[in-house]
Amino acid sequence: MNSIYELPAHQGLDSVSYQANDVPWLLDQDDRTCNDGSTSTIHVTLDTAIPITWVRVVFNDADSIDKIGLFYKPQNSMSMTSCPDKRKAQVDDKTVDISCQTSVVAEELALDGDGVRHLCSLYISGGV
């Protein structure tokens, strides 16, 4: 299944749409539907390559906030790169904003780690 998700404008974030395969719970705009624990890695392809500034991730388990890695693939690159400055700002007990200030445009993001098993939503804020 190939799905498209566009961040609703009312979220107060830049609208960044992306595609993800076989993860309808990530694309349904509902923070209550989550990964069933079957995968610990998620890849999303941005519809338009953009500089990334930060992402918001929502979990169904508060202990998962510190158990996630964030990577991006620069446009025209073959490999993923770790975000240069992964500062985290906890929004509430199950939501965290992760800084990922890229100096180049990204065409794909990846989340990995045990925390992904409890991931419910991913919101991407575009660059300047």
Q: Which CATH number applies to 2-126: 2.102.10.10, 1.10.10.10, 2.60.120.260, 3.40.50.300? A: 2.60.120.260
Tell me what pLDDT residue 7 has: 37
Mean pLDDT of 2-17: 45
Q: What is the pTM of this model?
A: 0.83
pLDDT at residue 58 greater than cutoff 90: yes
User: pLDDT tens digit string along 83-113?
Assistant: 887 788 999 999 999 998 888 899 999 999 9
Tell me what pLDDT residue 22 has: 78
Tell me what pLDDT residue 8 has: 38
Residue 36: Cβ-neighbour burial (10 angstroms; 0-12, 13-18, 19+): exposed
Tell me what pLDDT residue 40 has: 94
Q: Provide the total of helices (H) and of strands (E) in the chain, helices listed first.
A: 1, 10
Break the chain into its structural domains and give their ranges: 2-126
